[in-house]
């Protein structure tokens, strides 16, 4: 019999079917409310409308807490799957990584553009629901199937009658309250989602019916005849400084870089006061932004900058930056991308690197043409942008004068940035001189500073603050930052006005030594500079371990270069490429042994450019401070060797080390 600490064959458990979702729901969806599992069903209806197959999306909230989503699309196929030998509609609701959105080969794709390729959408909805009832109208017949108890089929697919020429899918969901903080979908969030679908799907009627206790039904219907511009105008509380600009552009069959239909539609407005912006990818709301938003800002900046330079509007000595042009810009962006890659299953942020170039190239030329056709509007936008630049430079000069009284001399190996704007500036602590050299060539000199570290930083867990500066590396880090060591008790009221960088990013190799350097630096900041952690200034770069070179595949896809953070992500990328029809033997995989092996372009794209990099924010929790302190003491304390040994013997089998 296995004891609690034993590790043998009986220690392994295999989760089958939808069990992984029910065991770890937070890996697949939001658990604050059922909003996201309902959104997955709505997104399927919206994908039908996006493909031109549906004209209505109807959502109903019932008094028993269930939600019904119906569309008049093609209806989910009900025939037997050729390989799995079960009805496709059952497969969609009971099997992870199964759906009609994987196959992107020409002529074989059910969806040219869809919200994502994870293939776990309505299967997750089913797994986390008490009951799901599905009705499909297809090819003159009404079919019904029902699921219960976390995904089990309780009523087999059956013929319910005829429907003439009607078609579509109706899904009723009873979310299981035990998986969510609250069992109800927030009404304001649902209305916002449905309203956005109406904006992004011209000609599609979106309706919400809410059952009332007295038996009546409250109905809300959304239509936006002016599309994105009308939506943006409704969202703004004030008038823009220039007329709103709305347009769209998509790649044609002869486009050299992108597949036919890829592109974006957008509405832009500049306001004296800030206005909220929204973005979408294949109708999926990306509330955390992503690379498509970065591409929009880049394209807008280039067009406005060109307009200003052509007319010599910029005062002498003023250097225009992207934030000067875009900080007062509100937008609604709807991007169409053939193969979108999101950050997590919740799809709140787009990670696809090619989206930067796609949206930027689609926006720049049409906006440039519009500015030159509407000169008065262009000048108003230019005037607002220049005003922002002048304000920024004035504030920077004030900060610079205050710093001139300081006596500390910056480290000689620090490659400092030109800007003095705390919100923009970033300091990269880079492992080794080799990687430091590549980082210097890869950086944006305006806002990014590089400080190479030689070897491993001193373990400072038990070092007194007065002795810290005896170590040259710690001395250089502290002087570069512009603040002194302090205690956790002092951090709440500490004045950080001398801080020179808004973000401090630890960038080390993706190996054991790199992880050790990260731990030593985090020990330093947690012990002696805790205010940097509690106020959100510390980040860890996540450079990739693998490079994947993908050959061109006809006119639809040019040659691509993808990056994988680890083996799991590498497997997912290869699996996705194979499903696209690319031969596994044609996929070339390279492994980076360290940051020094990356050329500056690769390092910039994967670890340094804000639009395409991945960085992990380091945060602190006051509720867990005792646990954190005990763990740091166990791992870094000099007198804890026996405790560390016991801890490693107990937990060593959980480590996945790249030796």
State the catalytic residues: 431, 509, 511, 513
- 229 with 267: CB under 8 angstroms? yes
CA–CA separation, 8 vs 5, rounded Å? 10
Would residue 65 be called left, alpha or beta, if left means φ above 0 and alpha means ψ between -120 and 50 degrees?
left
Sheet architecture: strand order including 67-71: 152-162, 141-148, 129-138, 168-175, 67-71, 56-61, 205-211, 217-222
Across-strand partners of 355?
Answer: none
Residue closest to 250 by CA, chosen among 112, 361, 333 = 361
Torsion (CA) 373, 379, 381, 387 in degrees, nearest 10: 160
Residues near 282 by Cβ (< 8 Å), separated by ≥ 6? Answer: 47, 50, 113, 114, 115, 116, 335, 336, 337, 340
Q: Retrieve residue 152's tokens.
A: 């089990």
Closest C-alpha to 70, from 173, 156, 139: 173
Task: Please name the residue ranges forming H helices in 374-502.
Answer: 375-403, 433-442, 472-481, 488-491
- Cβ atoms < 10 Å from Cβ of 404: 6
Sequence-distant (6+) residues with CB within 8 A of 332 are 199, 228, 231, 232, 235, 266, 267, 277, 278, 279
Helix (H, G, I), strand (E, B) or coil at 70: strand
Task: Decide if 124 contacts 40 (C-beta within 8 A).
Answer: yes
Q: How many CB atoms lie within 10 A of CB 72?
A: 22
Residues in the chain: 659
The CA distance from 104 to 339, in Å, is 9
* Token pair in block for residue 300: 């807008």
């Amino acid at each position: 019999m296995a004891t609690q600490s034993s590790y043998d064959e009986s220690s392994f458990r295999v989760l089958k079917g939808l069990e992984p979702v029910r065991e770890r729901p937070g890996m697949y969806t939001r658990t604050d409310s059922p909003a996201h599992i309902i959104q997955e069903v709505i997104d399927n209806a919206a994908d039908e409308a996006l493909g031109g197959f549906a004209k209505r999306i109807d959502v109903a909230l019932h008094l028993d807490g269930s939600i019904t989503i119906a569309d008049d699309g093609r209806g989910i196929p009900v025939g037997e799957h050729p390989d799995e030998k079960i009805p496709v509609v059952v497969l969609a609701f009971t099997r992870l990584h199964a759906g009609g959105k994987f196959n992107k080969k020409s002529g074989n794709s059910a969806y040219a553009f869809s919200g994502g390729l994870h293939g776990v959408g309505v299967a997750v909805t089913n797994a986390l629901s008490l009951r799901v009832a599905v009705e499909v109208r297809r090819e003159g017949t009404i079919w019904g199937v029902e699921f219960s108890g976390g995904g089990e089929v309780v009523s087999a697919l059956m013929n319910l009658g005829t429907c003439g020429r009607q078609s579509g899918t109706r899904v009723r969901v009873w979310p299981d309250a035990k998986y969510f903080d609250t069992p109800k979908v927030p009404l304001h969030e649902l209305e916002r989602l449905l309203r956005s679908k109406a904006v992004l799907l011209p000609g599609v009627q979106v309706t919400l019916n809410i059952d009332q206790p007295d038996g009546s039904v409250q109905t809300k219907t959304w239509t936006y005849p002016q599309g994105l511009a009308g939506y943006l105008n409704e969202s703004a509380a004030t008038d823009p400084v220039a007329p709103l600009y709305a347009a769209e552009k998509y790649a044609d069959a002869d486009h050299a870089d992108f597949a036919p239909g890829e592109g974006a539609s957008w509405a832009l407005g500049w306001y004296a006061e800030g206005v909220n912006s929204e973005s979408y990818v294949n109708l999926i709301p990306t509330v955390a932004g992503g690379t498509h938003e970065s591409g929009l800002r880049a394209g807008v900046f280039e067009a406005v900058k060109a307009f200003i330079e052509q007319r010599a509007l910029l005062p002498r000595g003023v250097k225009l930056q992207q934030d000067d042009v875009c900080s007062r810009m509100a937008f609604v962006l709807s991007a169409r991308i053939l193969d979108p890659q999101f950050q997590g299953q919740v799809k709140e942020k787009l990670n696809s690197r090619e989206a930067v170039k796609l949206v930027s190239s689609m926006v720049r030329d049409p906006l440039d043409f519009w500015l030159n056709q509407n000169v008065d509007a262009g000048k108003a936008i230019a005037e607002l942008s220049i005003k922002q630049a002048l304000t920024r430079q004035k504030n920077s000069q004030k900060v610079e004068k205050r710093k001139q009284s300081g006596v500390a001399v910056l480290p000689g190996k620090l490659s400092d940035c030109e800007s003095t704007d705390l919100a923009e500036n970033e300091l990269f602590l880079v492992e080794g001189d080799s990687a430091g050299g590549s980082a210097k060539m890869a950086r944006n000199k305006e806002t990014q500073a590089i400080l190479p570290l030689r070897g491993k930083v001193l373990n400072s867990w038990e070092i007194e603050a007065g002795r810290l500066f005896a170590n040259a590396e710690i001395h250089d880090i502290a002087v570069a930052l512009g603040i002194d060591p302090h205690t956790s008790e002092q951090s709440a009221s500490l004045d950080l006005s001398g801080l020179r960088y808004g973000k401090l990013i630890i960038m080390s190799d993706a190996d054991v030594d790199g992880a050790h350097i990260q731990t030593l630096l985090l020990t330093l900041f947690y012990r002696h500079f805790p205010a940097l952690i509690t106020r959100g200034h510390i980040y860890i770069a996540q450079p990739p371990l693998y490079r994947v070179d993908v050959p061109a595949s006809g006119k639809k896809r040019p040659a691509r270069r993808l990056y994988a953070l680890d083996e799991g992500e590498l497997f997912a990328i290869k699996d996705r490429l194979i499903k696209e029809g690319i031969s596994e033997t044609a996929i070339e995989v390279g492994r980076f042994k360290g940051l020094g092996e990356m050329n500056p372009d690769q390092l910039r794209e994967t670890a340094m450019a804000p639009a395409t990099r991945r960085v992990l924010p380091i945060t602190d929790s006051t509720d867990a401070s005792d646990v954190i302190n005990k763990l740091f003491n166990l791992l870094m304390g000099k007198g804890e060797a026996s405790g560390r040994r016991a801890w490693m013997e107990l937990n060593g089998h959980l480590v996945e080390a790249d030796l």
